[in-house]
Structure 1
Amino acid sequence: MRIHFIAIGGSAMHNLALALHQKGYIVSGSDDVIFEPSKSRLAKQGILPSQFGWFQDKIDTSLDAIILGMHAKVDNPELIKAKQLGLKIYSYPEFLYEQSKHKTRVVIGGSHGKTTITSMILHVMNYHGKPVDYMVGAQLEGFDRMVHLTEENDFIVLEGDEYLSSPIDRRPKFHLYRPNIALLSGIAWDHVNVFPTFENYLEQFRIFVNSIVKGGSITYNEEDVNVKSIVEASENSIRKLPYSTPDFFVEHGKTFLNTGEGPMPLDIFGRHNLNNLAGAKWICQNMGIDEEDFYEAITSFKGASKRLEKIGERRNTIIFKDYAHSPSKVAATTMAVKEQYPDRKLIACLELHTYSSLNAEFLKEYRGSLKEADVSAVFYIPESVKIKGLAEITKDQIGQAFQQQDINIFTNSAAFQEFLFEQDVTNSIVLFMSSGNYGGLDLNEIVNMIEIN
């Protein structure tokens, strides 16, 4: 097959392009800008566009399909040409479904924990030498790509994102996968630019549960009130399998899971991650892995990229970075670190970077999310608010939203970095939470600061 990608450079798109190239498809693509590591990875396989931009002469009837990325606009010249020629145009999730409609589809959904749970499942399957197709939202240790597609594998494991499918398909991605085996980890309002009310956001998960193939199953976090309500109210003819946080304890900075075979040490920590582990265990059992084999494999799981990732350690000081940016994720991550290291000072730093987090009305959702920190800092760039077309937000608004009088608020990276360098990090944990980069802050400099102290 000949496949052309419109907006090939994105994290998800370029990984799909690489997967199809490895599968033997003839792959081409376009984009107006491509950053690293996408650029080098595409170049290595010989499918990096020779020049950036959109070119209608790349679109002709020799193409079997177009895959349209979210980065493209509805008036994209290549998209217009593809429509004129009547070519088949897929969104990213549509094409994944086409590639997997004869497989058993395992879809992991929820506002938080999707990447971690999917990563746990893939780690366990890989550990036991059971090959599966997959799509996951982070680069995993031991895996070359975030997407892998074959003809022969029976299972495909898909991270079920609720964000939109493409510029011309406004359905959430996870509505298109029609899972045989599904999981819902939790629901916390996000993407307010697309789902303006919480009820509208909840409706997307009702649709997801009802999209599960009849006779399939939903494994769900019964500790989440919204998840429990939606799943148990569904009239879909599926099995409903609840899970909850397993019994565990922390000793000398190490988390142990209580099992029938005794305490089992883990490389991950945090109540939310133990909850994720419980969900992953049930999914793996549905895929043919027994409990004992799951535990054997999960002890060596170190976490997904950017999820409580340790980036520096010196004597009694540790630095973590985490992708947490929504209120529920920020609260869970901050609490996890404090529970793991109760005797250390926690310096928690959050960047407000997404559309939702910079929305003046949404800010109140962050109330109390940093309360477990001993020192807390919030960073945002006022220019980003303007670029997103949002109403101006002030430091006072942020302080009132978080309901913490001692919170430190910064609007430029130089002042934020100076604040960090002034901190006494003796016997401390420094936690960076962001989906951005704090205005270009070099976290390696922070690690070097700890090396000096």
Structure 2
Amino acid sequence: MTQLPRKIHLIAIGGSVMHNLAIALHEKGFQVTGSDDHIRNPAKDRLARLGLLPDEEGWFPERITADLDAVILGMHARKDNPELAKAQELNLPIYSFPEYVYQQCRDKQRVVVAGSHGKTSITSMLMHVLNYYNRKFDYLVGAQVEGFENQVKLTDDAPVVIIEGDEYLASPLDPTPKFLHYHHHIGLVSGIAWDHINVYPDFEDYVRQFDLFADATPKGGTLVYCEEDDLVTVICKKERADVTALPYEALPAKVIDGQTSLVLDDQKYPLQVFGHHNLLNMSGAKTILMRLGITEPMFYEAIQSFRGAANRLELLAQNGTTNVYKDFAHAPSKLKATCQAVRDQFPDRRLIACLELHTFSSINPEFLKQYAFTYTAADVPVVFYNPETSRRKQMHVLTESDIKAAFEEPDLKIFTDSAALQTWLEQQDWTETNLLLMSSGGFEGLNMQALADQLTKPLAR
């Protein structure tokens, strides 16, 4: 008798990870439907190509039927969502996306990468090296990675799954951090720096989640950690019965004429990425891969062709004297590390760096103080902040003096209009000068690629 495909409905299908999960389940042969009250690109086009885009936006309880095998609840939905209420009324199995990913990966070796920063890059490195050697594996990653069409892959036959483990809440019904639902065999903690103040208003509570993650390492499991982070080291060095704790530190490297190379045993391995934080990320990835049967020589061969995940120090354009990068950096630790990476890679070039404040944490007046002295590596530090962002989130509207006082940067330039920011950038002298655009948003519609192309156009002769 032919088995019917599993019927899955995703509430808030338009989310970054949710729409990728929908695609992965569709590719696995499941019958997938979904709803959302607002679906933007790239999710909209990607869902449409596969026939998964809802006919209209909104919530429709009639789409929740008794023959559904599961309902997956996205974080964008509210507790009073009418589709959720119907699913509860019908007593259907309701999962957060990390819970459902675990259900699909219960029989696999699960590798989970956690940390306030670096987890996307480390996960991408793991994927790149395993793919380089044609290893079979499933994955979940928070950014587009070169060589991979989707951000989620779930199959029946892959023996291992590589998961980027987020500390944010699993769903509107479940305040548990996502990374605790994956039940890792090999776990990694890259670093801890306070974030997500809207759900962890207390720093100690935020740190506690990583303690719980480390404690969840099973007997016979492996806990990999960055020993350059004192807080991570305290948590991960704690004695845990039958758990192997493996510390890592940055791999040795040199920067010569703008090119970073790993230097080991008189051998040089030129890299496509740079920065101390990426040398740390590589070391963490190597430590995990050696537990998965990848030798050191194999790792060094493969990592040379890794060009980074999307929006992670991504090179938009360049000429002989100017490079323009965009980066997902928005938290204080990420801002500091990213600026320092560009400074170290190009010590003789001026650095103009622009940060957008738009996340709940970054525009919170109390959290804003965490940005003090994080901009020291930039020659010209710039902040973009649209007061409407605070009004939309019903938060205190920051003033320029609030921002300058928090950053402890008297020469900080502040823009509240993206057109004004673009005009100012176009007026700068870009000779021997790099630009770094940092945001998890989009500078309120600024076309970063077009700007980069404009700034690096060859001068007319």
Same fold (TM over 0.5): yes
SS at match of 2:149: coil
SS at match of 2:144: coil
**Which segment drifts farther, 47-56 or 229-238?**
229-238
Deviation, 1:392, is: 2.4
Aligned to 2:11: 6
Aligned to 2:298: 293
For 1:12-411, list aligned pairs within 5 A: 12-260=17-265, 262-411=267-416
Deviation, 1:443, is: 1.4
User: Structure 1 residue 417 and structure 2 residue 454: aligned?
Assistant: no
Name the CA distance, whole Å, in 2 between partners of 1:443 and 1:222.
36
Q: Contact (CA 8 Å) 2:332, 2:370: kept in 1 or not?
A: yes
SS at match of 1:233: coil
Name the CA distance, whole Å, in 1 between partners of 2:386 and 2:283.
38
Deviation, 1:40, is: 1.3
Q: Contact (CA 8 Å) 2:354, 2:383: kept in 1 or not?
A: yes
**Which segment drifts farther, 410-419 or 160-169?**
410-419
Q: Contact (CA 8 Å) 1:67, 1:95: kept in 2 or not?
A: yes
Amino acid at match of 2:143: A
Q: Contact (CA 8 Å) 1:328, 1:369: kept in 2 or not?
A: yes
Q: Contact (CA 8 Å) 1:172, 1:204: kept in 2 or not?
A: yes
**Residue deviations 1:24-56 (CA, integer Å, cap 9, x gap):** 111011111111111111111111111111111
Q: Contact (CA 8 Å) 2:430, 2:455: kept in 1 or not?
A: no
**Residue deviations 1:314-347 (CA, integer Å, cap 9, x gap):** 2211100000000000000000000000000100
SS at match of 1:119: helix
**Residue deviations 1:125-174 (CA, integer Å, cap 9, x gap):** 00001010100001111101000011111100000000011111111100
Name the CA distance, whole Å, in 2 between partners of 1:423 and 1:37.
32
SS at match of 1:357: coil
SS at match of 2:214: helix
Q: Contact (CA 8 Å) 2:9, 2:70: kept in 1 or not?
A: yes
Name the CA distance, whole Å, in 2 between partners of 1:378 and 1:322.
14
Deviation, 1:237, is: 3.3
Amino acid at match of 1:284: L
Amino acid at match of 2:362: S
Amino acid at match of 1:89: I
Name the CA distance, whole Å, in 1 between partners of 2:95 and 2:303.
36
Tell me the C-alpha RMSD between the 2 structures.
Answer: 1.0
Amino acid at match of 1:108: V
Deviation, 1:446, is: 1.7
Amino acid at match of 1:96: V
Deviation, 1:444, is: 3.0
User: Structure 1 residue 430 and structure 2 residue 435: aligned?
Assistant: yes
Q: Contact (CA 8 Å) 2:331, 2:362: kept in 1 or not?
A: yes
**Residue deviations 1:199-238 (CA, integer Å, cap 9, x gap):** 1111000000111122100010001001000111253531
Name the CA distance, whole Å, in 1 between partners of 2:48 and 2:183.
34
Amino acid at match of 2:456: I
Q: Contact (CA 8 Å) 1:30, 1:49: kept in 2 or not?
A: yes
User: Structure 1 residue 449 and structure 2 residue 450: aligned?
Assistant: no
Name the CA distance, whole Å, in 2 between partners of 1:77 and 1:439.
31
Name the CA distance, whole Å, in 2 between partners of 1:118 and 1:326.
19
Deviation, 1:349, is: 0.5
Paired residues, number:
453
Q: Contact (CA 8 Å) 1:210, 1:234: kept in 2 or not?
A: no
Counting aligned pairs with the same residue, the percent is 51
**Which segment drifts farther, 29-38 or 83-92?**
29-38
Deviation, 1:90, is: 0.3
**Residue deviations 1:272-306 (CA, integer Å, cap 9, x gap):** 00000000001111111111001100000000100
Deviation, 1:390, is: 1.8
SS at match of 2:116: coil
**Residue deviations 1:78-133 (CA, integer Å, cap 9, x gap):** 00000000000000000011111111000000000000000000000000010101
SS at match of 2:76: coil
Name the CA distance, whole Å, in 1 between partners of 2:169 and 2:360.
14
Name the CA distance, whole Å, in 2 between partners of 1:430 and 1:62.
54
SS at match of 1:296: helix
Name the CA distance, whole Å, in 2 between partners of 1:445 and 1:46.
32
Please give the TM-score of this superposition, normalised by the length of structure 2. Answer: 0.97
